[in-house]
Amino acid sequence: MSATRLKYFQTGSFAAGNRLVDPDQRSVQSDPRRANAITCGHRACQGCGEALGARYALDAALRASDGDLIATNATGCLEVFSTPYPESSWQVPWIHSLFGNAAAVATGVAAALKAKGNTHTRVVGQGGDGGTVDIGFACLSGMFERGDDVLYICYDNEAYMNTGVQRSAATPPAAYTTTTQAVGEQPGAPWGQGKDAALIALAHEIPYVATATIADLRDLERKVHTAMEIRGARYIHVLVTCPLGWGAASADSIKLARLAMETGIFPVWEGEHGDVVSVTKIRHRTPVEEYLKLQTRFRHLFAPVRRDDVIARIQARADRNIARFGLLEALDEDQLDEAVEVDV
């Protein structure tokens, strides 16, 4: 698929498709024959960001591999809502084993393919933030370190949502979960804990690491496509909204992911061999409060007593991301929307 940014075509390249451009310049998701890796009837909640993120990512991976793909899956929402025995929503060869071993299973699938002399079938490992950042991290780090030929995608909804919204190492500070109640001087998840899995992946100096959100479809698809063109260990970390666990309206799923991006709370970047090589700039910078106030997991920052100190601390964290990744700097020439020649 094309990574070209389309300028001056009404919705440019921000919407899924665009009647004014050729079908091959539109997103995979706008294709009426897209694979639909996860088909209808799955039991994800209304407005599930993970169902959306997984379909975006795997449909792009399926197009990049001509449909020749095996997916592994950690335990978690994605596995539970898609595959209540004996039904399955998956329209791709798919295997689930344990909570913590999706990366190891993917390694095994890749090794088996190699042993059979199969060089064409590609392998994608998938997990939520619990299965990836916490429980499965040793398996994932080993997969990176050995350079196994797997693209691992983490769908990060920032807590253990499937088991009832418990804190994970990806839960942001101050967020309410059932294990980080909104009580005490520092309500919600503690400050100074947790880890940034994408930066840790980058530190392994593997060929490709990227972050993305469900709010910028074309960017996500481009990154999956790029990753699929590379052999070796690759990692994509996708922020996916959880209306249930975040306490947000189902209709706001994409809006929240967009605000996470536009506030600087979730920096969107890509790296190669240990270095960040590009970032997705913020188009309309927004204060973090706009993001926080839509979610009941941050409700205790606004009532009964407004916690300006905590909001300011979250803003400072977002500002640090903006400074660290250069999210507001002028766009590089090659990142600008391209002025497509008008065909007249």
Q: Which residues of this chain interact with another protein, rule CB under 8 A? A: 7-12, 14-20, 26-27, 29-30, 32, 36, 38-44, 46-49, 51-52, 55, 82, 84-89, 217, 243, 249-255, 258, 283-284, 337, 342-344
Query: The tokens of 83 are what?
Result: 């595959």
Smallest distance, another protein to C-beta of residue 252, A: 7
Nearer to another protein, 32 or 184 (CB): 32
Nearer to another protein, 35 or 143 (CB): 35
The H or E element containing residue 109 is: helix 102-115
Residue with tokens 């590009």: 278
Smallest distance, another protein to C-beta of residue 165, A: 19
Whether the CB-CB separation of 336 and 8 falls below 8 Å is answered with: no
Nearer to another protein, 8 or 231 (CB): 8
Smallest distance, another protein to C-beta of residue 59, A: 10
First to last CA, the chain: 24
Nearer to another protein, 42 or 297 (CB): 42
Nearer to another protein, 59 or 149 (CB): 59
Smallest distance, another protein to C-beta of residue 215, A: 8
Alpha carbon distance 282, 229 (integer Å)? 27
Instruction: List all residues 6 or more positions away from 272 whose beta carbon is below 8 Å from its beta carbon.
Output: 207, 208, 209
Instruction: List all residues 6 or more positions away from 343 whose beta carbon is below 8 Å from its beta carbon.
Output: none
Residue 254 identity (one-letter amino acid): I
Smallest distance, another protein to C-beta of residue 256, A: 10
Smallest distance, another protein to C-beta of residue 90, A: 9
Alpha carbon distance 41, 187 (integer Å)? 38
Give the β-pairing of 234-239 and 208-213.
parallel
Residue 122: closest CA among 73, 58, 74, 78 = 58
Nearer to another protein, 40 or 303 (CB): 40
Alpha carbon distance 260, 206 (integer Å)? 26
Alpha carbon distance 272, 230 (integer Å)? 11
Smallest distance, another protein to C-beta of residue 176, A: 22
Nearer to another protein, 290 or 308 (CB): 290
Angle at 334 between CA 331 and CA 340, to 5 degrees: 105
Whether the CB-CB separation of 11 and 5 falls below 8 Å is answered with: no
Smallest distance, another protein to C-beta of residue 265, A: 16
Nearer to another protein, 67 or 190 (CB): 67
